[in-house]
Structure 1
Amino acid sequence: MTEEQQQKTREQRGRKTTSADAQIQSTEDEQTNLLVGIPAYNEEVGIGSTILAAQRHADHIVVVDDGSSDDTIEIAKQAGATVLQHDTNRGKGGAVKTILEFARSTECENLVLIDGDGQHKPSDIPQVIGPVTDGDADIVIGSRYLETDADDETPLYRRFGQRILDVLTTGRTGTKLTDTQSGFRAFSADAIDSLRLQTDGIGVESEMIDTAVRQDLTIEEASIDVRYEGIDGQTYNPLHHGLTVVTFILKLVRDKHPLIFFGLPGLLLTVAGALYGLDAILIYQSTGTFYPAKVLVSGFVTIIGTLGIFCGLILNRISNMIDRVHEVGI
């Protein structure tokens, strides 16, 4: 068989591997009911079985290979998935953004994201996508902790770290979620169109929640099972993952909620400086002893705090104006 015939055969089977941008442009006229997207980086161990299991529930499966150096691409092709390839490793957020762009190009009705390392069970897809197809939610997060399970395999240290990230992620949005860092998610067509993400890193799950809340998208959770034993996929060190997400969340608060980021510490510094100065005044009144160091420190801290408050107010106003411009489409 000639090379031209081989190429034609691959295209007919829908298993062509190409650059992400070229593949997205070539699928603009296709329509899919349920698309399953799998971001993958060196996932040769679990990607094949994940795809095969997901095919029982999906109309189309797309794998975004994020610069893998192993056989992830070949195995994903053999399993029957469409493979989009990044030339270099962009990070999980970059892979998720490519999946969302592909979903928009195919005009799919619903999208499910799952990890490719085998931790997620594709058999849970129906219960995760259910609230979306029923019209009850725009985004459903597959939660590992929604229900108490005596057989839960999640290590204690991982659960503790996840809980801290949950508080940091949802604290500023008011949304009550039990598993903000789960990569198992379902999206409606409105959510697919609305989620224009910026981060390329592993803070993408937190950015999704923040963007969804700002876009007035409804978020629900559905209980899922995960596997940790025997999983040999490419995963981040829990400490590295946690610190990276915390750093991203702080940047997100700084950029989108500057009044909290600058104003709250400024208020605390102002109060602390005022109390410290008041203590110096009371000592002077009662003993006649003057402590210039106390007065200087009090004044410096109070000034810094006041500047923080005003900085937060000004930047918050600017942020609101930018959001208003985006809303009206100027």
Structure 2
Amino acid sequence: MNDISLPRRPVIAVVIPCYKVTRQILGVIGAIGPEVQHIYVVDDHCPDGSGDVVAAQCRDARVTLLRHAVNQGVGGAVMSGYRAALAAGADLIVKIDGDGQMDPALLPAIVEPILAGQADYTKGNRFFNLEQIRQMPPLRLFGNAMLSLLNKLSSGYWNVFDPTNGYTAIHADVARQLPFAKISPRYFFETDMLFRLNTLHAVVIDVPMDAHYGDEASNLKISRIITEFAFKHVRNFAKRLFYNYYLRNMSLASIEAPLGLGLLLAGGSYGLWHWVHSARLDVPTPAGTVMLSGLSVLMGLQLLLAFLAYDIAAVPRRPIHRRQQGRILLLQD
């Protein structure tokens, strides 16, 4: 009689970064279901002693408390949790904030696309339900919408929205390939993760969710990070363009982007200079000059739109962790 080996139950670990969440953290831990085998609570040098509360009052045997001697930001806390989960042999790692805004009951829905082999990384999206987003503070709603547009351009994931959403799950095989030391450690963490995942050609999928806004205090200061976010988006876009269209591969889009930008800038500058010059002399701008400038601008816009169409179509669609598993099976055979 042939032995039939049943599929092993996936080991799921949850990482919870803690900073000023003393009132909510125990409730978050208590709501995590039995499908999770490990819970890593990372006290990111919390001034309120979140780690002390967990150590003194939490009786869940799945919980491991990690402490930072120096505050490293949410990204640094998550990376510490990732390292611990990988060392423990986790197959999937879920990140949940400790402030109670993310419902742990949604965890099966967050990990399902990865378990089904459809994605390498999943993240929550609070913009699916138009009725529910009315609960979101207007400033936060507008800010997330603008950041989502910038993120699509800088990360290359045109199919995802709500980039600052911290309810995420990742396959362990993909997490091992991330450059932990290079990922932005603070508020740009979630967005930078998407950029890093794109350089790996990982598949990212949004999962609809509702957010809960209570009495927690946000540590995010919009006025302080808006310049930082703009600079980092531009930096990541330039890196992604170089990595994907010049270093690793060359295509028609590699020509369309610089040629389109050059024509747009040259045509616009040429037309503006002649318009100012003609205005100073109080004479009409020659028709040929206007046509040459306008043609350059239109051709530049058309080439840039063609590049965007190519970039949108190039969103990764084949999970990389399945390709890696296939290679292992071939080596074993």
Q: Same fold (TM over 0.5)?
A: yes
Number of the residue aligned with 2:198 = 213
The one-letter amino acid paired with 2:195 is D
Deviation, structure 1 residue 251: 3.0
- 1:272 and 1:154, CA in 2 relative to 1: closer, same or farther beyond 3 A? same
CA distance in 1, matches of 2:46, 2:263: 47
Conserved in 2, the CA contact under 8 Å of 1:144 and 1:226?
A: yes
Number of the residue aligned with 2:159 = 176
The one-letter amino acid paired with 2:121 is I
CA distance in 2, matches of 1:267, 1:121: 50
Which runs of 5 or more structure 1 residues have no equivalent in the other structure?
1-30, 289-330
Conserved in 2, the CA contact under 8 Å of 1:114 and 1:185?
A: yes
Residue 113 of structure 1 pairs with residue 91 of structure 2: no
Number of the residue aligned with 2:219 = 235
Deviation, structure 1 residue 135: 1.3
Number of the residue aligned with 1:327 = none
- 1:47 and 1:242, CA in 2 relative to 1: closer, same or farther beyond 3 A? farther
Deviation, structure 1 residue 178: 2.1
Deviation, structure 1 residue 236: 1.5
The one-letter amino acid paired with 2:232 is F
Residue 61 of structure 1 pairs with residue 46 of structure 2: no
Deviation, structure 1 residue 221: 1.1
- 1:272-283 correspondence to structure 2 within 5 Å: 272-279=268-275
The one-letter amino acid paired with 2:29 is I
Conserved in 1, the CA contact under 8 Å of 2:144 and 2:162?
A: yes
Deviation, structure 1 residue 253: 2.8
The one-letter amino acid paired with 1:64 is V
Residue 34 of structure 1 pairs with residue 17 of structure 2: no
2:22 corresponds, among 44, 53, 70, to 44
Matched residue SS, 2:150: helix
Aligned length: 257
CA distance in 2, matches of 1:279, 1:146: 47
- 1:286 and 1:148, CA in 2 relative to 1: closer, same or farther beyond 3 A? closer
Deviation, structure 1 residue 202: 1.0
CA distance in 1, matches of 2:52, 2:28: 14
Deviation, structure 1 residue 54: 1.5
CA distance in 1, matches of 2:23, 2:53: 9
Deviation, structure 1 residue 248: 2.5
Number of the residue aligned with 1:70 = 48
Number of the residue aligned with 2:248 = none
Number of the residue aligned with 1:82 = 64
Matched residue SS, 2:229: helix
Number of the residue aligned with 1:17 = none
Number of the residue aligned with 2:175 = 192
The one-letter amino acid paired with 1:180 is P
Deviation, structure 1 residue 228: 0.9
CA distance in 2, matches of 1:287, 1:131: 65
Deviation, structure 1 residue 152: 4.2
Normalised by the size of structure 2, how large is the TM-score? 0.68
Conserved in 2, the CA contact under 8 Å of 1:66 and 1:89?
A: yes
Matched residue SS, 2:31: helix
CA distance in 1, matches of 2:34, 2:265: 58
The one-letter amino acid paired with 2:23 is V
The one-letter amino acid paired with 1:185 is T
Out of 131-140 and 191-200, give the one that drifted further: 191-200
Matched residue SS, 1:112: strand
Deviation, structure 1 residue 164: 0.4
- 1:178 and 1:151, CA in 2 relative to 1: closer, same or farther beyond 3 A? closer
- 1:216 and 1:255, CA in 2 relative to 1: closer, same or farther beyond 3 A? closer
CA RMSD, Structure 1 to Structure 2 (Å) = 3.1
Matched residue SS, 2:176: helix
**Percent of pairs with identical residues:** 23
Residue 253 of structure 1 pairs with residue 237 of structure 2: yes
Deviation, structure 1 residue 32: 7.6
Number of the residue aligned with 1:319 = none
Which runs of 5 or more structure 2 residues have no equivalent in the other structure?
1-8, 246-253, 285-333
